[in-house]
Every structure is written in structure tokens, then in C-alpha cells.
Structure 1
């Protein structure tokens, strides 16, 4: 888990540490819950905690790997067939599978971040050029957005609140 906030350092380090802080919050939001609570739809659209983890894993692979021509490995969904498939955890997918997918995506993204300059240019899924700088900012905000959703879902599941473990 990431320690502290990025208060000093270079731009890339600060952006990466900000992303890591939100990634860690995502994992903390699912910690200690059983499979039923992680999969329970908590909104009319069916949003659940584990589905958001799966979605964020796919987003990391799409933005950090596909956009920069890097291997993603197998994906447990097919967005071409169903654009919502990355948000659903299928019955055959275990919690451990989804958490491992997120860890794999995070590691692949971290390799891209380590190996490329902030000004490196890739191509987004919709065809526009994107810099690594943009992708880092986008994924930090996307992860923070969904961590916020997870704050609410976790509170509804068992009353736990907060964005990180208190000392």
C-alpha cells in the first residue's frame, strides 16, 4: 500500500503516487467483505464493488497498455460484444480472480509509467493521440471517481466509511 501523499518530487512521481493512493483506496474498500457483499448490486443499474474493481483493471490496461502498443494479456470481458461487460463479474469469476486481474493491470500500467516519458504519445481507443501525462491524470481522476462510488457502496454494505485505513 502506498504511504502518504505526493507532497514533493517530480511531476511523474507525483502523478504516479496520486494514482497509487486511489488504487490503494479501491482495494481497501473491498477488504474484509465476503463474496456476496462484494457482488451485491447496490444501485438500480447493478453497480457493485467487485464490478468496479474489474472495470478499473480494464481501464488501466486500455489506457496504459493498449494506447501505447503494449500487451494487455487476456481480458475477462468483450467490450465489442457488450460495452458494459467490464462492469459485471460473471458467476465463474471469483473475487480472487478479479483482484488478481487488477494487480496484473496495475503492474502492467506501472511498467509503462516507468519506461515512458510523460510526453510519450499513444493512441486512445477512439483514435486520438494521448500523452502519458494525460493518461496518468485521466486514470488518477477515473480511479478517484470510482473510489468515491465505492465509498458509498461500502457504507451501504456494512457501514464502513473513509478513504483509507486509520492508524
Structure 2
């Protein structure tokens, strides 16, 4: 049975850095942390629902792929390309896992989305202002802090899901 191995390495964020380097470093740390929760799992384990909600480890990877798209490609870059997993028309398409994609394939999509987000972030300033259709005007700094909040929250979910799947409490 094949098991997943993350292609991302967790690198501790710098202890002394500019604001931009610190935000980017912490976000990359959390991105790698998410994929580390899948290490050693089969597709069946990563897809297993162990809580009443739709949350699965595989679903979290897909969800954060969508989050990367929304904030970096849609809001910062202004792209009009289709969102992953049918969003926004398909509610919870990222968590449904009914399209037959493997963890490996969706993790590769996640890694590609993160790389694209890094490229977009490299072209903007923290003070650049963007508009979100519900929130209104916000700067890139706010988006980066929000992304850290998203990852911290979902990495906590991933910790619990992983422990319920196989008892692993650290990865």
C-alpha cells in the first residue's frame, strides 16, 4: 500500500527578519506543516472522516488550495481563471472528495498553488490595497496575516484528525 510523503520541508521562520520576510517565512512553515500531517498515510486514511463534519486531512489540503487561490490569485492578482473544486458554485466541493483525485494529485496542486502565491507576493508591497467583495478594502499585510490565521486554525484541525486516524500526535 502506497503512503504519502510530503515534498515540502518545514523550515523554521527567521527569528530576526523584516516584516515581509517574517510573514512569508511563517506562511511557508504552516504550508509545509499541513502536508506533514499526511506523511505515512494512505489515500484511504487521508480521506477518512473521523469527525461528524466533512473535515478530512485530504479535504483540508484541497480547502487550503482553494484559500490560496482566493486570496492570492483572485484578490491580489485579479485573475479570472476558474477556481478549484467548483467554488463558489459548488459549496464544499473542496471537502466532498467525490472527484476521485488522489492525495498525491491534490497535494501537487496545493504545492503549485503555493508556488504561484509566492510569485504573486513577490510582486506586491505589503501596503498595496485590494478589494474583497464582502470585506471591502484591505492591504496585502492583512491578507498575509489572515492566511497565517487560516493555516494555524486548519493545522490545529489536522493535528486532531491525524491523532484520531492513527494516534500520531507529532509529525
After TM superposition, the score normalised by the length of structure 1 is 0.89
User: 1:45 maps to what in 2?
Assistant: 53
Counterpart check, 1:131 vs 2:139: yes
CA apart distance, 1:73: 5.1
Q: Deviations over 1:58-78 (max 9, x none)?
A: 101100110023447553322
1:25, distance to aligned residue in structure 2 (A): 0.8
Match of 1:119 in 2: 127
Moved more, 39-48 or 63-72: 63-72
CA distance in 1, matches of 2:133, 2:39: 32
Structure 2 counterparts to residues 63-82 of structure 1, below 5 A: 63-71=71-79, 74-82=82-90
Please show how residues 64-103 of structure 1 align to structure 2 within 5 Å. 64-71=72-79, 74-103=82-111
| 5+ residue gaps, structure 1 | none
The question of whether the paired residues in 2 share the 8 Å contact of 1:72 and 1:108 is answered with no
Alignment partners' CA distance in 1, 2:86 and 2:141: 27
TM-score (norm 2): 0.87
Q: CA deviation at 1:90?
A: 2.3
Cα RMSD for the two superposed structures? 1.7
